[in-house]
Amino acid sequence: MLIQLDADPTICDDRGRSALDNARDKGHDEMVEIMERGKEVLMAARCGDKRRLQSLLQNGGSVNFQDQYGLTPLHVAAIKGHKDVVLVLVEMGLDLERQDNEGHTALHMAVEGGDVEVVEALIDNGANANAKTKTGVSPLYMAKIMSYDHISQLLLNRGTCSSPSSG
């Protein structure tokens, strides 16, 4: 139920124990299996294993799983440049604007990864090119400071605000 409500199972209590730790200790095997499957989905996305990802998702894996940093399968696929995995996740209707703990969207992650095709795929599917992190960093600002001129140009061509400032 917690995962269906998008609760983060990796957050630790004041004793340093996560929901997964507590579920294991109390013998809630079904809950442990659900949480473990979420980690497997994240790993398949990170590795670019499209077939494994699709299999996990067909068997109840959660596309909404977030690790301790708030990263989703879409975030990790985007930063690793796995366009085919990104497209599978987008087709499932994932929230393109979901942010990690620092406010990065999948588009921020794709820019950081430097893969113009993934950046373009996310924008083509409705990602907000003007999204900002908690510190006010836009995808364009990231592209500029990382000297990704091809990505900067793509963002500008797609209607991104021309000011790359972070504040």
99-152: per-residue pLDDT in tens? 999 999 999 999 999 999 999 999 999 999 999 999 999 999 999 999 999 999
pLDDT at 5 over 70: no
Rounded to whole angstroms, the Cα distance separating 46 from 81 reads 9
Q: Rg for the chain (alpha carbons), in Å? A: 17
Phi, psi of 146 (to 5 degrees): -95, 5
- Give the domain ranges of the chain: 19-157
Rounded to whole angstroms, the Cα distance separating 95 from 7 reads 15
Beta strands in 104-166 (DSSP E): none
CATH number corresponding to 19-157: 1.25.40.20
pLDDT of residue 21: 56
- Burial of 56-76, coded b for 16+ CB within 10 Å and e otherwise, reads bbeeebbbbbbbeebbbbbbb
